[in-house]
Amino acid sequence: MLPCNPGGHAAYQDTFVSDFLKFYPDPFVLSKSTWDYIVQFWYLDLSQTDSLMQDCYSVFGPEPRLPSCMLRSYLLALKLKVTSITVWCRMLRETPLYAILSGFPFGDTPGVGTFYDFFSRIWQDDSNNLSPKDRFPKMKPPMGKKKGDKTPCDSSSIASKLLPLLERLHLKPENPFSLIFHLYKQQFLDLSIRKGLIDPEHLALAGDGTPVRTAAQQRKKRICGCRENGCSFCNCKRHYSQPDCNWGWDSHRESYFFGYHLYMYVASNSHSDLPVFPILERASRHDMLSFLHSFFTMKAYLPEFHIEKLLLDSAHDACHRFHNTFFEFQVILHYTRISTRKIHHTQELAFHYLHSIFH
């Protein structure tokens, strides 16, 4: 059956109040921090999820869990810093507050398989990864030469080849994560626009990348027979459990990390630097190359946004070679180049400087 939620967010609030008073007749026993996320999820309207994901379900079969409740429950788990689905399902069975705040009756909460089925529906592809799992091994990127330096890379020459390619390709908003972005846009980004927190006609963006660690080690195994033939070290293909992740250099912590490189655009002229467009890039990718790919991807997903200013740090110095291209979008580029004896181009100082420009 197709998911149906005729009552919308008001029905969720009414059910929460009745169930909450049943299990917690004295609300003052709950701590202030607990009430903080209760209030946040009380106002979090995710009812559009049910209509946006109707095409992901069949008209036959049993009635499914509401996608809005599944998404709300997963966001609640992330809010509580619970990353294990197995642990979260156990917490839903044991704690009435987490169940009713997610939108489920206590005692009738989803299991591990239900969550993974929801993830497979929200990810618009038969494969769980963008990259093939069988590929050749790659070396780690070189570390910074000095304290606080990013990975040395001839980003200007690579970017000069990448930019014409991106201009010719005209990236389309058709990716496995397209539905995830539509859910974010309609229920979070558009809400900020309607409340006047973000002005899409006069947008000033600040862009930068940050490491996202997914594992301590890279998990892979041999699929060749070189070891049986006496060759312990070979460059044959390996089978990777996380093929979209790789090694990157964290210049802030001065250490290698395995995972992704989250490149985030925030509205620097908004009150709280609200997020506009996040995208996961490869961990080994330089900030300059991540910027080019994420910028053209953002233009494909948000063509109605008029970007007037881009605020970038010194890792994007190669951008000055491509002013003609960005002036076609009527974009003014600003760079932050801050150096002291102890701190060289750190993210904290850069964004403090950017914040002082507009406030």
Same domain, 44 and 100: yes
Highest-confidence range of 87-96, 159-168, 319-328, by mean pLDDT?
87-96
Same domain, 169 and 35: no
Decide if 2 is inside a domain.
Answer: no
Written as six digits, the tokens of 180 are: 């995830």
Same domain, 157 and 306: yes
Same domain, 66 and 159: no
Same domain, 109 and 162: no
Q: DSSP secondary-structure letter at 278?
A: E
Decide if 227 is inside a domain.
Answer: no
146 against 245, higher pLDDT? 245
Give the pTM: 0.81
Are 341 and 313 in contact by the 8 Å Cβ rule? The answer is: no
User: Can you give the pLDDT at residue 331?
Assistant: 54
Distance of alpha carbon 97 from alpha carbon 187, whole angstroms: 24
Are 37 and 79 in contact by the 8 Å Cβ rule? The answer is: yes
Total domain count, the chain: 2
Task: State yes or no: pLDDT of 342 exceeds 50.
Answer: no
Place of tokens 């069988």: 134
Decide if 43 is inside a domain.
Answer: yes
Average pLDDT over residues 252-259: 89
Reported as a single tens digit per residue, the pLDDT across 297-327 is 998 999 999 888 888 877 666 554 555 455 4
Question: Of 189, 178, 216, nearest to 300 (Cα)?
Answer: 178
Last residue of a domain, one of 87, 122, 157: 122
Report the range of poorest mean pLDDT among 48-57, 157-166, 234-243, 252-261.
Answer: 157-166
Same domain, 27 and 91: yes
Task: State yes or no: pLDDT of 252 exceeds 90.
Answer: no
Same domain, 344 and 253: yes
Reported as a single tens digit per residue, the pLDDT across 172-183 is 888 899 999 999
Burial of 350 (0-12, 13-18, 19+ CB in 10 A): buried
Written as six digits, the tokens of 67 are: 């996608």
- Whichever domain contains 344, its CATH number is 3.30.420
Question: Of 209, 174, 201, nearest to 280 (Cα)?
Answer: 209
Give the chain's radius of gyration (CA, Å). 23
Same domain, 107 and 187: no
Are 320 and 159 in contact by the 8 Å Cβ rule? The answer is: no
Decide if 164 is inside a domain.
Answer: yes
Same domain, 15 and 81: yes
Same domain, 190 and 255: yes
Between vectors from CA 166 to CA 346 and to CA 171, what angle results, nearest 5°? 105
Distance of alpha carbon 47 from alpha carbon 343, whole angstroms: 46
Same domain, 111 and 169: no
What range does the domain containing 26 cover?
Answer: 8-122
Task: State yes or no: pLDDT of 189 exceeds 80.
Answer: yes
Average pLDDT value for the chain: 83
Decide if 32 is inside a domain.
Answer: yes
User: Can you give the pLDDT at residue 359?
Assistant: 41
Are 312 and 231 in contact by the 8 Å Cβ rule? The answer is: no
Task: State yes or no: pLDDT of 138 exceeds 70.
Answer: yes
Long-range contacts of 334-343 (CB under 8 A, 24+ apart): 334/309, 334/310, 336/311, 336/312, 338/314, 343/148
Question: Of 133, 121, 3, nearest to 68 (Cα)?
Answer: 3
User: Can you give the pLDDT at residue 322?
Assistant: 52
What is the helix, strand, coil percentage profile of the chain, to 5?
A: 45, 15, 40
Average pLDDT over residues 63-76: 94
Same domain, 37 and 182: no
